[in-house]
């Protein structure tokens, strides 16, 4: 039987994949390296728990899990970070409107 040909197997494996997705979603920028490693181990164990349902499919997922990079948070050495404010309302259409008015409908710059 196979993930692709048996609805019961697909549902069982999808349930595990949903749980694994939730594990990753719950990792955040404040997750410790330990929490990241714990999530990866739990993902691996979850996949092993349904390996007997479709060994080829699960083995491929385990291989991709082993190759995936869950990046732990990176500490910012500089606490003084400045963000430039951008006003979409002021900048969104002005250039295109001006370009269309000046250059007509065959403008190479914006494609209008």
Of 64, 80, 52, 75, the C-alpha closest to 24 is: 64
- Full-model pTM: 0.58
For 72-100, what is the mean pLDDT?
Answer: 45
pLDDT digits (tens, 9 = 90+) for 12-65: 999 999 999 999 899 988 888 889 889 989 999 999 999 999 999 999 998 887
């Amino acid at each position: 039987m196979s993930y692709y040909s048996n609805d019961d197997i697909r549902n069982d494996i999808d349930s595990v994949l949903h749980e694994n997705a939730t594990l990753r979603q719950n990792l955040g920028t404040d997750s410790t390296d330990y929490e990241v490693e714990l999530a990866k181990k739990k993902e691996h164990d979850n996949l092993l728990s349904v390996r007997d349902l479709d060994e080829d499919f699960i083995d491929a997922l385990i291989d991709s899990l082993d190759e995936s990079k869950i990046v732990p948070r990176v500490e910012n050495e500089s606490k003084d970070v400045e963000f430039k404010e951008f006003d979409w309302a002021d900048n969104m259409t002005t250039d295109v409107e001006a370009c269309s008015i000046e250059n007509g409908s065959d403008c190479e710059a914006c494609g209008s």
